[in-house]
Structure formats: structure tokens, C-alpha cells
Structure 1
Amino acid sequence: MRNSPSKNGSGGHSRNFTDAFWSPFVNKSGAGISPNRSYALVSLFILLIVGAFISTRLLLDPTVLLEKETVTSPTETKPQTISPKYPRPPTVITKSPQEFILHCSGNQTTGRNSYPATASFGDDDSKLPPTPTCPEYFRWIHEDLRPWASTGITREALERAKKTANFRLAIVGGKVYVEKFQDAFQTRDVFTIWGLLQLLRKYPGKIPDLELMFDCVDWPVVRAADFAGVNSPSPPPLFRYCGNEETLDIVFPDWSFWGWSEVNIKPWESLLKELREGNKRTDWVNREPYAYWKGNPLVAETRQDLMKCNVSEEHEWNARLYAQDWIRESKEGYKQSDLASQCHHRYKIYIEGSAWSVSEKYILACDSVTLLVKPHYYDFFTRGLLPAHHYWPVREHDKCRSIKFAVHWGNSHIQKAQDIGKAASEFIQEELKMDYVYDYMFHLLTEYSKLLQFKPEIPLNATEICSETMACPRSGNERKFMTESLVKHPAETGPCAMPPPYDPASFYAVQKRKQSTATRILQWEMKYWSKQNQTGS
């Protein structure tokens, strides 16, 4: 048989072939390899080894047929070599997001940054990355819109909201139109409209056509009792910054999320980072063991009453209270009103002004235990807060004694007090970040638009606006804060997933928990003061 192996394991023909192959490199005398042929022999030996290696790799790994590639990551400048030893990684094409900028040179054309009515996330939203469920307080959107759930919102009902509104805003075909009725206090209306423009930049093509009326005054005015009768008309849908239990106004994020130019309060995204850094400057246990408040006491009697709780020769109520003079602050460059530098007490007091106050979110963000004087109003996120978890309730009509007990309790329960302060600041940092503010606006407006029983139109006396027409003519803090809060590119994912509305049982459970916790704390307080009275201290 051809090439049959011999006893020593080598086929005869193979041996003859080998001998013939090597014979040119061997001296005829058999003394060994010829010196003048050593170089050729070494070269041939290397070629054989390399050839064998390549043959084996071709059999085992077909990817070696591909050339080595040098790939540069979008975030790296140093080339990264993909070795043919391993399978090729999946190709990921990272597309730089479209960036929106302000065009303030030359003609400020209305609509320059208007956004198409087509979706920006791609034709198939099912291909988007999964989004988290929205925070729990988003469920209140359903409650705020419940008065129109069965009837819808008619054109007639909308027009009745004009009575106190500062402006009408319409979104038609991805463009924004504003009809102004009356001036708002300071620049509340300006930065509210600016925030809505930024929402369209974040989710271009995703905001449905709609018309709404907005009232920038603090106090809600749509009284529920006026629309409780069987034959009563549906209430006018009126947007504003806060509500209460007796009214039906639709609650919307306030203007200060994009900056409060008159008092030098920065846009929320920037300020939130500064507050986070400010918390790190002093550990909770090393902070002043008192309750701190700084604000304008002249706007409400309840704040003037609070000032009676300040430390004096007669009383130590464990409070350190300061009146804020904004006129003086503006002249001195706001050196004493830096919010990130006011996290130096273990406890901070929140008390309403003429109505709800924008200061609540700044106070809650401080890691301090928020002592919340019983409020009468709520904004869009505060209904998600729980007593003894996010804040400590303080009695409205006996503030001084209630504050003194709260500080005493916290200083006697160090770990529990720290937990309350931390839970509040984490809520603000994680569940009230700017992405969620925009998502709340997105879901509220989307659900609102579903209730409209008419086709939204461009108001007759409205003006089309865009980011350029608002920001470019402005200067100072207004221009600075608009530039800082400008949404520069569309969102790369969709908004968070809207949670379902409360069912009666879960709604009752939330309300019951808040009430029972507040009652238990009041009982502790009464017991404390009863003991103090008995000992005469």
C-alpha cells in the first residue's frame, strides 16, 4: 500500500522524500550543514513553522481571513486594535445626537428652532431602550385631570379659564404660539413659557397639539364647590404652580426650575449639583443643632408669627431665624443668599408665604431634617412626601413649642433624624432631577390633550415664539439663565413610564398613612410638653 507506515512510524516514501529534500543542504562528505547554506536553511525552517501555524488557524478560526482593524472609540483618541484571535465584536454605530443651539446673530427669525411634528425617536418606539417607571407622585396627574375624565374639555370651558389667566399657549404642528392677556409678577410667565419651549426641544415631535390657559398668581381660584352640583358646568381647566384641597387648578412645575433671575437663583439642574456638593461640606452630626430659616417674613402673617420663635433672653425655642432683605442682597451681589451654603444646621424650617413657596425644594435638598409647618397648598411633587420619612410635621398654631420638641427629638434620636434628612435629599436628587420635571410636563400635557373635545388652533391674537425670539433680545440673568437651561439636543430615550391612577383602596391607604403618622407625632409632642410642665422646666 502506498505510504504505508513502517515499524518505526515513518513511511518509506516519506523518508525518501525527506532525504531528497534535505540533501542539497548537507555536505557530500556527510559532515553536516554547509556554512554557505545555513542562512537558507534557517529561513526555510521559519517559513515551515509559520505556514503550519497559519494552516491550523485557517482550519480553526475563519476570522483570520479578515484583516486586523484599528477602531477608534467615539470617546477615545487612542486607537484600539481588535485582535483576530477573538470573534469580532458586534458593530455599534454611535450617532452623535443632533445639537440645538441659539442663533442670535443676524436675523432672529421666528420659528428657526421650531420642531417637526414627526417623532424624533425613530419610526418604531418599541426599539427604544426600556424606560424606568415614573416616580410615585406622577400618579397625581390622573387626580388633577379627574374633573374632566367623564366630560372632556370643551372650547367653552377653556374660554372660561381666560378670566384670570396671564396667557394662552397653543402648540400646533410642533410650534408654539402665545396670546398674552396680562403681565405676570416679575418674569414668572417668561420662564414658564421658556420651560415649555425646552420641553419641545427635549421631545421634538412628541408633544401633541393643544391649547391651555396659565395663571401665574400663587393662589388657586377654581373652587371645587362651584362645580359640585348636578347641573353645574364643568370647571375651567386652568394651569398654575400650586393647588389645595378646595380647588381644581391643574398643578404645573414652577418657573424657578429654569431660573429665578430677580433673586439670582440658578436653573435647577445647575443648582441641584451645587446643593449636592454643599451637603458634603459638613456632616450632619457636626452641624448646628438648631432649626434654621431665612426668608421674607412680610409676605404672610404665619411667617411673622414664626419670627416669635427666634432665640431671645426669655426663650430658647431651638430656632435660628433670619429675615431676608432682597433689596439689600441685590445691591451686595447676593453674597448672603447662596442656597448651597445654607446647609449648616441639622434642621431647616419650611413655611408657606402668601401661598406655597418655591423654597421647599431647596430646603428638602439639604440633608437637614425639614421641619414642615402644616401647609395649606401643594405643588406637583410634594404630594409624594411622607411625614417622618421625608419631613417632620410642625403645628401651625403652636409653632415655637412644636419646633422645640422636633429639635429635641432629633438630637435625642441622631440616627433616625439623619435618615429623615437623607431620605428627603435623595428624593430631591433622584426623583426631582430635571429629566423627571420634563417627563412630568410631558405626561401631564399628553393626558390633558386627550381630554380636549375640540381641534387646537392658532389663537387669533397669538405670536409664534421660539428659543431665539425669547432669549436673544434679553440680557443679564435672564439671558444667562436661559442659555444655561437651554436643552441642547433631543432625548435619546423616551420619557419614563407613567404609573396607573390610584384605585380607591390605595388612595385611602396613602392618606391614612400620612394622617396616622402625623397624629402619632402630635401625641409624642403633647406627652413631652406635659412632662415639661410637671417638672417646671
Structure 2
Amino acid sequence: MVSRAQVVLAGCLITLVLFARFVFFPGAPSEDPGAGSIASDLKKWTFVPAKHANVHSLSRSQCSASFPGLYDRVDIAVSQRERGRKLISYDEVQIAPGRCMLQLLIYENELYITDLGDHLECYVSNGRERIVATLSLIQRAIFSSPEPLPNIEFPLSYDDLPTRSTHGVTWGFTRTESEDNVWLIPDYGYWSWWAIGIPSFNSLARAINVIDASTPWMEKSPKAVWRGTPHYAPEIREKLIEVTRDKPWADVETVTIGEDEKHFLSLDEHCKYQYVLQTEGTSYSGRFKFLQLCNSVTVSHKLEYAEFVTHLLRSSGPEQNFIEVERDWSNLEEKMEYFAGHPQEAEEIARRSHQVFAEKYLTPAAVSCYLRRLIEGWAKVQAFEPELYEFNETTGKRTARSTPFEAFVVSFPQEKPGEYGRFGPS
């Protein structure tokens, strides 16, 4: 029979052993049955737009669970490099002067500008806005990352046509199917597009939510709306104007900011219509994402240019989330007549679009998750180790070879006065 003294002695010995284990071996695996609770919680993780749309600190596992399929373009870009055994060399990230390009560095979870190029010679009209807004998106994704990110160096084109600025590898807002060297990045409009009157992405999203909350889809105008200038992509836009002229199902008018604004509609006012028409411009359409925030049906011609979420569009089947027509709009009237007779089908397309894009893949949280996955993907095929300093062998001194984002963003000067139109600073 075990005595009380023996029980006490055994208890003391166990306590001493456990104390020694945690003092001298703090990193040893825990035998606690709750040790797997974190992994278990991730399996149960559900992205709730009302709670998480603006949460930028989602872990990699949460990002994967929240936005499955979002990273397909990154995965393809990585696999193409790996399959061809052609890693990205340091020479490939160098930018040419006088183009709409930046050379950027991410080092120990901080963003640096290595080469600004010659932004005054860039041929886009709102270059400073594009630069600051795009870098701010990247900075936010880095700063909010709950996990350390790899060190990378990369070129960024802020041109509507990235390959017009470089024929080499680059990050860019859009690409055609054949432009494998363009790694897609969310454009500046996900931060701010003040040149056309959008203070921030969320400010416009809130204005759209107010309209959609007060106007159910069936109470919206049953017309297809479009405003714009035929100056960009005239072969597409002029044909749209022609096809919709005097049609009872269309509300299509030309608008030129600063000249002819008689029929001007703000982007949130487009959401008062059941159907919103989207057209490409110089390349991709910067307004597409904003139209997708509406609880309306997006109607688009067949696209030539892709963005980082374009592969999530579905033109038919049970997951259809937009209506696709020919690039010359030749079957637009046929489509509109069909859905006029099947309004419930159209409403379902609008609902699915809103669920997929407005509530999920276009949220600020998704943008940050995507950018971090892009950084990780690039690092996998980067053949060099980025350096923060340059070493002078003669003097033995180290000098910084880049400008931190924090210093850059407060010192980057305004240029090209008046380029912002009526919305810009005076």
C-alpha cells in the first residue's frame, strides 16, 4: 500500500521534472491536447465581409481560405519561370530612364524606392497619383503582414500598357494573354483615384452601399447605363454609342470632363441602374472594379486585357457573374431583350457578382493578401539576394542605395500642374 508520504514525494518529483522541462527546454513540443487548437481554428475560419473586408493582417492560411483561386495568376507566373528554369536576374529588374517605371526593394519587411526613373517624362497624365497610390497599397500589405516577407527587388510599370514602358519582366496593372513577363498587381484605384473624384476605394464603396441598400435590384432603372468619352478605344466605344442610339433599354451618353459634362453621372449613380456597361480604354478599364461593387449586372464586351481578378469572371453556367457580348456589341440588343424577359435570371447574376467581387475578391483585405502572395511568388524565382546598401571598397563605407517609402511619400514633389482636372488640388 502506498503511504501518504510516498504520494507527496512523487508529486514533488513530478513538479520538479515539469519545472525543469519548461525552464531548460522551453521550445520542446507541448503534450497539451489543446496544442492543435490554432490549426483547428484555421480550418474553421470563415471570411465574413462585414467583419473582415478591411482587415489587412490575415495570416497566409486565412488568406488562402478566404480567397481561393485569387492567386492563380501568381502561381502561373512562378511555374512558367520554374518550368523554363529561367530565374529572374538582377539585370532584369533594372529600369530604363524616361519611362513610366519604378525600381522597388522590399527589405526586412520595409519598402524602398531604388530608382524613380524620370517620372516627368512619363506619358500618363496622373503619374504622381499612380505612383503614390500604388506604393501605398504595397506598403499597407507589407506593414500589416503577420508573417515576415522575403527580400525582393522588382520593377513596376504604372503605364496603362506595361509593355510600352518595358519589354522585360515587370509588375503591371494589366496584360494580354501573350504578355507572360507582366506580373499582375492591383492598380492605384484600390487606394485612391482622385483625378476622377474618388477620394478612396472605401469612400466610393460606402456611397454605393447606400444606394444599393435603398434601391433593391428590381426597383432600379431597367436600362443599361454608360458614360464616357469615345477618345479612348474609339473602335469599341463609338460602336457602343451607335448600337445603343435611341434604344429604350439603353442610357448611353458621351461625357468629357471639363468640356461636355451635361450627362455626367458619378460612379455610384451608375448603381441606380440594373445593368452597367463596361468598356476597355487604352487597355484595361479602371472603372470595371467600381461597377462590380454595384448590386447590378455588369455587361462587358469580350476582354483583351486582364487584371489580377479577371480570371474569376464567369460568362455562363451556374456561376455566371456578368453578361458577355461581342467586342463590336453586335449581340448586345439580343442579350438585353432576353434578360428583359427573364429579370429573375438577371437579378441572380447581379447577386452572384456582388458576392464574388464586392463582398470578397475586391475587398481591401483581398488586395493585401494578393500583394503578399505576389511578393512570395516573386521571391521563389528571384536569382539574386537584394542589398540595402552599396559598399565602397576604396573608402570602406556603406551607403544607402534606396529611399525608404516613408521619406519618399512625404517628399515626392507635385508635377505637371493641372493634370488632375477639376478634382485635383488647385
**Which residue of structure 2 lines up, in the alignment, with residue 146 of structure 1?**
79
Q: Structure 2: how far apart are the matches of 1:322 and 1:168?
A: 40
- Indicate how the Cα distance of structure 1 residues 462 and 424 shifts in structure 2: closer, same or farther if over 3 A, else same: farther
Q: Give 1:153's aligned amino acid.
A: I
**Which residue of structure 1 lines up, in the alignment, with residue 324 of structure 2?**
393
Q: Structure 2: how far apart are the matches of 1:174 and 1:292?
A: 44
Stretch moving more, 436-445 or 298-307: 298-307
- Indicate how the Cα distance of structure 1 residues 214 and 340 shifts in structure 2: closer, same or farther if over 3 A, else same: same
* Residues 257, 268 of structure 1: 8 Å contact kept: yes
Q: Structure 2: how far apart are the matches of 1:129 and 1:220?
A: 31
Q: Does 1:239 align with 2:168?
A: no
**Which residue of structure 2 lines up, in the alignment, with residue 447 of structure 1?**
377
1:329 to partner: Cα distance: 8.8
**Which residue of structure 2 lines up, in the alignment, with residue 40 of structure 1?**
none
Q: Does 1:168 align with 2:103?
A: yes
Q: Does 1:181 align with 2:117?
A: yes
Q: Does 1:197 align with 2:130?
A: no
Q: Give 2:88's aligned amino acid.
A: I
Aligned with residue 434 of structure 1, among 364, 373, 378: 364
- Indicate how the Cα distance of structure 1 residues 329 and 467 shifts in structure 2: closer, same or farther if over 3 A, else same: farther
Structure 2 matches for 1:61-76, cutoff 5 A? none
* Residues 309, 319 of structure 1: 8 Å contact kept: no
Q: Structure 2: how far apart are the matches of 1:422 and 1:129?
A: 25
**Which residue of structure 1 lines up, in the alignment, with residue 195 of structure 2?**
262
Q: Structure 1: how far apart are the matches of 2:77 and 2:155?
A: 15
Partner SS state of residue 136, structure 1? coil
Aligned with residue 324 of structure 1, among 251, 255, 278: 255
Structure 2 matches for 1:521-536, cutoff 5 A? none
1:440 to partner: Cα distance: 0.1
* Residues 291, 403 of structure 1: 8 Å contact kept: no
Aligned with residue 282 of structure 1, among 191, 204, 215: 215
1:459 to partner: Cα distance: 7.5
- Structure 1, unaligned runs of 5 or more: 1-120, 224-234, 482-537
Q: Does 1:359 align with 2:291?
A: no
Render the CA deviation track for 1:462-496: whole Å, top value 9, x for unaligned.
542334651588899x9xx9xxxxxxxxxxxxxxx
**Which residue of structure 1 lines up, in the alignment, with residue 35 of structure 2?**
none
Give me the TM-score of the superposition, normalised by structure 1. 0.57
* Residues 289, 407 of structure 1: 8 Å contact kept: no
Q: Give 2:342's aligned amino acid.
A: H
Q: How many residues are treated as equivalent by the alignment?
A: 336
1:204 to partner: Cα distance: 6.5
* Residues 108, 148 of structure 2: 8 Å contact kept: no
Q: Give 1:182's aligned amino acid.
A: D
Q: Structure 1: how far apart are the matches of 2:157 and 2:89?
A: 19
- Indicate how the Cα distance of structure 1 residues 199 and 271 shifts in structure 2: closer, same or farther if over 3 A, else same: same
Q: Structure 2: how far apart are the matches of 1:274 and 1:257?
A: 15
Q: Structure 1: how far apart are the matches of 2:75 and 2:389?
A: 28
Q: Give 1:450's aligned amino acid.
A: K
Q: Give 1:360's aligned amino acid.
A: F
Q: Does 1:158 align with 2:105?
A: no
* Residues 95, 102 of structure 2: 8 Å contact kept: no
Structure 2 matches for 1:490-529, cutoff 5 A? none
Aligned with residue 207 of structure 1, among 146, 149, 168: 149
* Residues 356, 378 of structure 1: 8 Å contact kept: yes
Partner SS state of residue 297, structure 1? coil
1:251 to partner: Cα distance: 0.6
* Residues 98, 118 of structure 2: 8 Å contact kept: no
Q: Structure 2: how far apart are the matches of 1:161 and 1:147?
A: 25
1:146 to partner: Cα distance: 2.8
* Residues 95, 103 of structure 2: 8 Å contact kept: no
Stretch moving more, 350-359 or 177-186: 177-186
What is the root-mean-square deviation in Å for CA atoms of aligned residues?
3.3
- Indicate how the Cα distance of structure 1 residues 363 and 371 shifts in structure 2: closer, same or farther if over 3 A, else same: same
Q: Give 1:245's aligned amino acid.
A: E
Q: Structure 1: how far apart are the matches of 2:387 and 2:265?
A: 44
Q: Give 1:134's aligned amino acid.
A: F
Aligned with residue 332 of structure 2, among 398, 403, 407: 403
- Indicate how the Cα distance of structure 1 residues 182 and 468 shifts in structure 2: closer, same or farther if over 3 A, else same: closer
Q: Structure 2: how far apart are the matches of 1:436 and 1:130?
A: 7
